[in-house]
Amino acid sequence: MAGEVYLDHAATTPTDPRVVEAMRPYFTEVYGNPSTMYALGAMADKAIEEARERIAAFIGAKPEEIYFTSSGTESDNWAIKGIAYANVKKGRHIITSRIEHHAVLEACLFMREQGFEVTQIPVDGEGLVDPDAVRKAIRPDTILISIMHGNNEIGTVEPIAQIGRIAEETDVVFHTDAVQTVGKIPVKVEQLKVDILSASAHKFYGPKGVGFQYIRKGTRISPFIHGGGQERGKRASTHNVPGIVGMGKAVELADAEMESAAAKLRGLADRLYKGIRERVEGIRLNGHPTLRVPGNVNICVDSVEGESMILCLDMNRVCVSSGSACTTGSLEPSHVLLALGLPAEVAHGSLRFTMGKHNTEAEIDYVLQEFPPIVQRLRSMNPLYKKKA
Ligand SMILES: *Cc1c(COP(=O)(O)O)cnc(C)c1O
> Are 142 and 219 part of one and the same domain?
yes
CATH at residue 335: 3.90.1150.10
Q: Which of these three, 225, 253, 281, is where a domain ends?
A: 253
> Are 210 and 313 part of one and the same domain?
no
Q: What is the pLDDT along the chain (389 residues), one digit of tens a residue?
A: 678 999 999 999 999 999 999 999 999 999 999 999 999 999 999 999 999 999 999 999 999 999 999 999 999 999 999 999 999 999 999 999 999 999 999 999 999 999 999 999 999 999 999 999 999 999 999 999 999 999 999 999 999 999 999 999 999 999 999 999 999 999 999 999 999 999 999 999 999 999 999 999 999 999 999 999 999 999 999 999 999 999 999 999 999 999 999 999 999 999 999 999 999 999 999 999 999 999 999 999 999 999 999 999 999 999 999 865 444 556 688 999 999 999 999 999 999 999 999 999 999 999 999 999 999 999 999 888 876 54
Active-site choice (108, 300, 312, 326): 326
- How many domains, in total, are found in the chain? 2
Calculate the alpha carbon distances from 89 to 85, 93, 141, 220, 299 in Å.
9, 11, 9, 12, 45
> Are 217 and 286 part of one and the same domain?
no
Residue ranges around ligand 1 (CB below 6 Å): 71-73, 76, 101, 103, 148, 152, 177, 179-180, 200, 202-203, 211
Q: How remote is the CA of residue 276 from the centroid of ligand 1, in Å?
A: 28
Q: Which of these three, 212, 236, 253, is where a domain ends?
A: 253
Q: How remote is the CA of residue 201 from the centroid of ligand 1, in Å?
A: 10
> Are 239 and 283 part of one and the same domain?
no
Mutate to test the pocket of ligand 1, among 15, 70, 146, 152 (most ligand atoms within 8 A of CB): 152
Q: Identify whether 300 is a catalytic site residue.
A: no
Mutate to test the pocket of ligand 1, among 80, 101, 293 (most ligand atoms within 8 A of CB): 101
The domain in which residue 182 lies consists of: 17-253
Radius of gyration of the chain (CA): 22
> Are 179 and 61 part of one and the same domain?
yes
Q: Relative to the CA of 148, which ligand 1 atom is closest?
A: 13
Ligand 1, atom 15, lies closest to the CA of: 152
CATH at residue 157: 3.40.640.10
Alpha-helical regions (H) of the chain: 17-23, 25-28, 39-59, 72-86, 102-113, 131-137, 160-170, 189-192, 241-279, 306-315, 335-339, 344-347, 361-380
> Are 201 and 315 part of one and the same domain?
no
Concatenated DSSP letters for 188-239? -HHHHT-SEEEEEGGGTTS-SS-EEEEE-TT-----SB-SSSTGGGTB-S--
Q: Which of these three, 220, 253, 286, is where a domain ends?
A: 253
Is the overall model pTM greater than 0.85, yes or no?
Answer: yes
